[in-house]
Structure formats: C-alpha cells, structure tokens
Structure 1
Amino acid sequence: MTAILRRLDPPSLGQQLRATPAMTRPLMFEIIDRACRRVASFDQSERTTRLTRLIDAEAWTDAALALLELELPLWQVRRIAYDEGEWHCALSRERELPDWLGSAVEARHADLVLAVLSALVEVRELAADASRPSVPSVHPMLGAPYQPLACDSFR
C-alpha cells in the first residue's frame, strides 16, 4: 500500500488509546503502523533493532520513549507527573522554557506508557493539521467575469 493511500487517522487512534486500560503487543504494533512514519524508513538500523528488542521484552515504557526518540527527534519530554491516579505527559520542542512561555502537547492516562504514546499521537495529529492549508485553495476561473476598462479622466 502506498503512503498516499495509507491514511493517518490520529483522532480514532487517540480515542482507542484513551479507552485502552493497558499496553499490549498488538496495540504497540498498531501505533507504529498507523502513526509512525519514520520507523519504516530506518529499515533495520541499530535504533529499530533496539526498539524491537524492547517490544519483545515487553519493556513498554522504554519502548515508548525509544519510539518517541525515533519518531519525533525535535521533541522532548518536558514533564511526566502522576496526579490523582493519572499520568500526565507533556512534550515540547523547547524543554528549557518555562511552562507559561513555551507551548507543549499534553496527554494523560492511567497507564504511563499510554500517556506517553497518547502525547506522541497528539503531536502527529497537530502535524497533520499544520500540513493542511488554513485557507482552502481556489482555482482561477478560466473566463474572467469582468472586462478591463481604461479610465483616464482624473478630476
């Protein structure tokens, strides 16, 4: 299947992650298949081999952080916190900026791994929205609906 025909559908993947109670091996591969474009381009490099070993060992937190490093090299974990039964994960491009100054993508879940992966999917969703133009494109009309007119009288 070509990349054009494969449709990245982060909203439904994000909903699936919110509804899932715990990480599973099939879910990890579904996330990689649906939201991770760079993993396939690395082929069998050292990074993807490490990610595969972490998935095989079911080291989900390390696998999620390795996947984050592979997929979003310009993004960093800004904050991971546990509050009232939920993990909160914030990703940002500028980790050193104060919270009030920088912008971060935040996600939360009862499971740490799913909170990190939900943030990754959220960043992918934002990137997909940013690649779309904010104004719809308009095709020029073939026949102009007006006629040029010369007005030389300037009173």
Structure 2
Amino acid sequence: MTALLRRLDPPSLSQQLRTAAAMTRPLMAEIIDKACRRVASPGQSERSTRLMRLIDSEAWTDAALALIELELPMWQVRRIAYDEGEWHCALSRERELPDWLDAAIEARHADLALALLSALVEVRALATDATRPIVPSVRPLLDPLFQPVACDNFS
C-alpha cells in the first residue's frame, strides 16, 4: 500500500462525516490531516492562514469552501441545494456542461459544511482510485513450449 493510500483512508473518514451531527474542531483537524495535502504547502501560506482563521472563528461552511478551493483547484461547486432536511452538494470539473453530461461528485448531509466536506473526501477517494493501475504490473509467465520463430524471407 502506498504512503498516500495509508495517509488517506476515505471509507472511515467518509463514515465519520456521515455519522457526525455537526462540525467540530477535532473533526476538521482530522479531515485536514487525512485528506488534505496543500494546507501546509509553502506557496499556499496566505490561503492556509485564511483557512485557519475561518476554523478558529468556527465559520465551518466558509472553511469548507476555502478548503475545497485550496485542495481541489480544478473542481468547483456545481450545486448546493436544500431538500427535505438535507443539504445536497455537487462538485464538478466541468460546471458549464448540462447535468446529464457532467460527472459530478455528489454528497448530502443535514449540515452544509459536512455535506461540502463529504464531497471533498469523495473527490479525494476518486482521485486515489484513479491513480491505481488498471492493468496488472506483473508480466505473465511465458509458456515453456513457446519458441519464437523468424518468418523473414531474405531471398
């Protein structure tokens, strides 16, 4: 298992977000620790400082949006909707496409910040799965009866 996969454990983090009633500092710290790589980057100091100020003031929705902006620069919030007691959030790489053509990542939760962060974790899990090789990296064993034959005609 690679170091990134050990660091990012999407199923347990996703489960914690689903079962959480409200956002807390320890939960936000765990999300940043497990699913975020750019928060502590040297080139992101201004954005990271803004994020930490939002967390300190417990502005969870703004902190979630700032974290998405920082961690997923190619992704944008496509839709935020409230329906029957739950927030539905969708993140997309191609926001201008019609819904039926877009491969948006959707998440839902009763708390808006948790719905946004659930979508962030889902995108991270999708990115982790995409980096795994589809084709096995081990070469198959050659048949012992197989011998290459030259078929060139040099006459």
TM-score greater than 0.5 by the shorter chain: yes
Unaligned runs of 5+ in 2: none
1:47-106 C-alpha deviation (Å, 9 max, x unpaired): 000000000000000000000000000000000000001000000001111101111000
The alpha-carbon distance between structure 1 residues 151 and 56, as it changes in their structure 2 partners (threshold 3 A), is closer
Shift of 1:42: 3.6
When the two chains are superposed, the root-mean-square deviation of aligned CA atoms in Å is 2.2
1:82-134 C-alpha deviation (Å, 9 max, x unpaired): 00010000000011111011110000001000000000000000000000011
User: What SS does structure 1 have at the residue aligned with 2:81?
Assistant: strand
Aligned to 1:23: 23
Q: Does the Cα contact within 8 Å between 1:51 and 1:67 map onto a contact in 2? A: yes
Q: Supply the distance in 1 between the matched residues of 2:43 and 2:76 (Cα, whole angstroms).
A: 23
Unaligned runs of 5+ in 1: none
Amino acid at match of 2:95: R
Q: Supply the distance in 2 between the matched residues of 1:91 and 1:151 (Cα, whole angstroms).
A: 56
What is the aligned length?
150
Q: Does the Cα contact within 8 Å between 1:42 and 1:48 map onto a contact in 2? A: no
Q: Supply the distance in 2 between the matched residues of 1:79 and 1:123 (Cα, whole angstroms).
A: 15
Aligned to 1:7: 7
Q: Percent identity?
A: 81
Q: Does the Cα contact within 8 Å between 2:88 and 2:108 map onto a contact in 1? A: yes
Aligned to 2:121: 121
Q: Supply the distance in 2 between the matched residues of 1:44 and 1:125 (Cα, whole angstroms).
A: 23
Q: Supply the distance in 1 between the matched residues of 2:126 and 2:10 (Cα, whole angstroms).
A: 9
Q: Supply the distance in 1 between the matched residues of 2:106 and 2:15 (Cα, whole angstroms).
A: 15
Shift of 1:8: 1.0
Shift of 1:41: 1.7
The alpha-carbon distance between structure 1 residues 88 and 4, as it changes in their structure 2 partners (threshold 3 A), is closer
2:145 matched to 1:135? no
Shift of 1:9: 0.6
Q: Supply the distance in 1 between the matched residues of 2:94 and 2:44 (Cα, whole angstroms).
A: 30
Range moving further from structure 2, 63-72 or 5-14? 5-14
Aligned to 2:89: 89
The alpha-carbon distance between structure 1 residues 40 and 6, as it changes in their structure 2 partners (threshold 3 A), is farther
Shift of 1:17: 0.3
Amino acid at match of 2:18: R
Q: Which runs of 4+ in 1 moved over 6 A?
A: none
